[in-house]
Structure 1
């Protein structure tokens, strides 16, 4: 293993070289657009990083938690999705700002400014979170391949691994091809659920009641934490800062502020789309299954069968295609994030094939031994929720420091709101633990 050059400008060569874009891959035209173009054309030219990050917000784990939530509790947990999406907008804006302001990504800054034991602790938990992330992505894509083509789950998981490498390999041609591919997958997911929403319809009045915060027992709390973990993803908190570092070099603080404004547009559009997709998942499940045997629709396979039976084959195919697109795209983004984490926290890299083998092993074991895949997906999202504070707290601590962020340091209000978000997530996780040990009841 070798240490990369400072500033995340490489991964040691070989197979790793295709994993992250280097400054040499940046196009001078991007900076020209930044300084000479205005309006919609300029914004469209600079869109991309947030769309890569947002694919993690609509990965197969979201399918599992949203379908489970909608079928069992109706519209009850819509408020959780709305809150999680607003949190995601704030968090991803802060993460992207790190890359723009410092030319470093979040793990690199943690290595530079935190004690070594803290850095290594953050790295270890991030690797465990990567395994939980891969579990959701591989299992989800495998289920989709099984539903569409009747491929057994284990071979379908291996096919997903090949697809992830192929998509990630587009970065060797420049980051724009990778970003365009991810946007294409996002479009498939969006169109799939738009079709199903229009086909099924829903009661808007009843859905509106779901935006009033409340729970219905401990199981609803478990699902709420799972939804939060599926929506606010720890690995893309790290990744987004790497996507923006040196993507378009800025010569001074004024240009950094311009880039930051473009980034806010990017994040707003991408996260709004992700939020609409997530809400449509829950709304569709609530409309179809809640109160009509919804307690029995506790797996993605049963949801697919319900689509086919209650709506028609076309709705079932749209659902499965959206799931497949989510699995393929999010697995490649997960691999990308894993390299950022290792390179940043401990200044080391390993070949992508080895990293992928290690992190996907739990998912393949789940597929091989026949564990209920949807239950595994939901649990993986709860695990992810426990990882959020370990990414979010360093983000808040670093972005509030002027010696780190310079002119783009957080305003006190931004730091306060981000601290509240971190506290809310942490409290939910503590409540879940207390409930699991019978110390509190909901």
Structure 2
């Protein structure tokens, strides 16, 4: 850590301006001090020239720099331009990191992309999956990500994340259209839900992949499970593509043709003639889906059905990858829906770097202010199921919260407008900390 040269050390400390979680002890060598020219604190305001004190991986206090005397030990002090909470990536598929630049993109039928990834899966070696996923974790850390929610079918990803520093929720993916396949998949997933978790694994949950890939018997097994385990985190891809919309409304289109080519039964016995979201409501599953991935297409009924504990996860990179119509962000925000950002995977994106994704969102949504953008990767996802009850709290710089930081560096003096900071080409992630421990530094 660099020495603290930008702020005075020995000014008297004013207790009236300090926010502290507990009384300071006599020993100070174990404490870390983050001296920031600009910091986003309490999930509400930017403050200039502050010192954030960390002990045992927890934020202990936030002080104005001129009012705190700290030991002049270089190893204990980090001088930084902009101090932000670590970013939360609410949707990843690390197992698909090997897919980078190998699949169709642009305005192609979604079913063609599904066929392409299926063919690629059959040729990839397990060691390639793990090696590429390791690189994916590094890219996440380089982009300031400290927590993620990953959907996977592979125990290797569970093991990889257990040995990484990143906090995570694993959602075991479920795909099965036939009854026989459903029983096999379900038993595998039940075993995986009981696996012992590493300290950085926040929770294990389920990802019934999508309404079109979860058949009647699997829905029955899932419904019974979630009714008995309502707090298990559940995420589902829903309303993602125009093909899905047409399929549920008419039973025709590229999805129907895909099923016919592969001699597969659809996920329903009768054409629903409604949106995928309304179909989940009819099946008594909607209310158990805590994370709604993509939701690019929805009806007024879908919008009215979104519950306060549900989170819509938008992936700007995936949207751009498939050249999709503009995401209806304003409609969701005006209705008070909680929206946050995810990276999705290298099967549908060119980067997992959350800082770059946040920068992309700033360009795509000029109507959003800097604080609104920052909330999409911090305070809003931190309220999601599985994360909201985490102790210490995530996604915020506040006394008692986890010392998870994304530290930015910029050539110009930090502006009061975070949007301006974000779009400044000289701004980059300089370091990432998880639990007060440096896990990435720009070289």
TM-score, normalised relative to structure 1: 0.22
TM-score, normalised relative to structure 2: 0.22
Greater share of residues in helix? 1
Flag the structure with more relative contact order, 1 or 2, with Cα contacts below 8 A and sequence separation at least 6: 1
Greater share of residues in strand? 2
